[in-house]
Chains A and B, each alone.
Chain A
Amino acid sequence: AQSVSQHNHHVILSEAASLELGCNYSYGGTVNLFWYVQYPGQHLQLLLKYFSGDPLVKGIKGFEAEFIKSKFSFNLRKPSVQWSDTAEYFCAVRVKTSYDKVIFGPGTSLSVIP
């Protein structure tokens, strides 16, 4: 069965520290990859996506992610976090079978300390 794993359950960083959140998926076929973010009290929203082309994708608020096909990974990075980045981050994979669906990882809670 397809699955998505995220390396960390809870990450605590100080402002200006660099961030890397790991994501791995288990599916050998063609996939679309996503990172979603859920700020406190807000809807889940798209942070960035990868469909094809350049494996380094940039999203909103200075986030970027790199797709490494050989490692089945799609890690999220930000060089300098802010207090406002405190949120829950979800990696997701859309499996492109004849009937596709989006599978989410368990999420990583990020707390940024001012």
Chain B
Amino acid sequence: KAGVTQTPRYLIKTRGQQVTLSCSPISGHRSVSWYQQTPGQGLQFLFEYFSETQRNKGNFPGRFSGRQFSNSRSEMNVSTLELGDSALYLCASSSPAGAGANVLTFGAGSRLTVL
């Protein structure tokens, strides 16, 4: 069973640009969550999607947005990048039922560097 796949793995952008990150969840998982991981801050919750609907949102500015498609794949977008947006962006998927229900399975992350 394939795991959670995130692309791209690494990217470098400059201030003011925008970026789109992609996440393909485990087959059959309909919930996708996004986190920002930085040294000392741990994992900060960005948002969670289920069946194309955003169910939860963290305390991030409106520059951070996301969406989920009918095949459960998800994208997140950050516009007008700032230096402080440099981080590892993690995607996790979960299923409400079955083996491993309600347990997040993480991808390898997308490492964003903003110059």
**Interface flag for B33 (CB, 8 Å):** yes
A104 and B102 form a contact (CB under 8 A): no
- Chain B, interface size category, equals 20 to 34
**Residues in B neighbouring A102, C-beta threshold 8 A:** 33, 45, 104
B33 and A107 form a contact (CB under 8 A): no
- Chain A, interface size category, equals 20 to 34
Binds B, one of A41-49, A68-76, A77-85: A41-49
**Interface flag for A8 (CB, 8 Å):** no
| B70-112 vs A, Cβ < 8 Å mask (1 yes, 0 no) | 0000000000000000000010100000000011111111000
Looking at chain A's contact residues, is the secondary structure mostly helix, strand, loop, or mixed? strand
* 83-107 of chain A: CB within 8 A of chain B: 90, 92, 94, 99-107
> Which residues of B pack against A, CB within 8 Å?
3, 33, 35, 40-45, 48, 55-56, 58, 90, 92, 102-109
